[in-house]
Amino acid sequence: MRLLLATTNKGKVAELRLILEHEPVEIVGLDEAASTNEIETANTFEENALLKARHYHQLSGLPTIADDSGLEVESLDGAPGVYSARYGGAGATDQAKILKLLDEMKDVHEPDRTARFTCVAAFVSSAGEAVFRGEVKGRILDRPRGAGGFGYDPIFLYQPLGKTFAELSADEKTGISHRGQAFRKLAVWLRESSFLDTPKTGDRIGTTAD
């Protein structure tokens, strides 16, 4: 059975393939020309994830998974939140987003630099819908640390390991990350619901298995 993950991010596709590697499914992503930016018009992660999953399920006919995630900083009343990817304006680089966030937090001292990464994964098919949330708590450093990851990873300190997300190995990050949590909950639900035992068809838009 084919499942569509509504993203052009190959890293996300690889992560979900790893989580579902023992299941009878083929995970495909969107081709590079696709975009989800204009679909993300809601005020919550749940609504944005469902909007994307519904949109691409309708276009493709495939059971579709979509996620929406972001960084929520307590001292900024939860910002940047659902606007994490667009923080700093259209076309802003990861570095620009980090610098903007650090500037807004320049007067915030310990112990008030708490934050969390949140991810909601939505599943939409002809049989129904479901959503799954993952969260991981951390602290915002006053300067970036580490060369890995992407987005806000270099300033997000995961205290149990004493590392930023940018200092974690791929396996470490997948094991604790908000996205990994949400995807694993989805995978468990797929198994327990017997959805994976039911043949499904459909493939009407450009997808890629790469």
Active site residue 31: no
Q: At 173, is the secondary structure helix, strand, or coil? A: helix
Q: Return d(Cα 82, Cα 56) in angstroms, integer.
A: 20
- Selected catalytic residue, list 68, 112, 171, 203: 68
In the β-sheet with 64-73, what is the strand arrangement from edge to edge?
163-164, 156-158, 128-140, 114-125, 64-73, 2-5, 26-30, 207-208
Alpha helices in 74-169, H assignment, sequence order: 94-104
Q: How far apart are CA 192 and CA 140, in angstroms?
A: 37
**Is residue 151 a contact partner of residue 97, using CB atoms and an 8 Å limit?**
yes
Of 73, 137, 134, 138, the closest CA to residue 106 belongs to 73
φ, ψ for residue 28, nearest 5 deg: -120, 150
Omega of the bond prior to 80 within 30 degrees of 0, cis? yes
Active site residues: 68
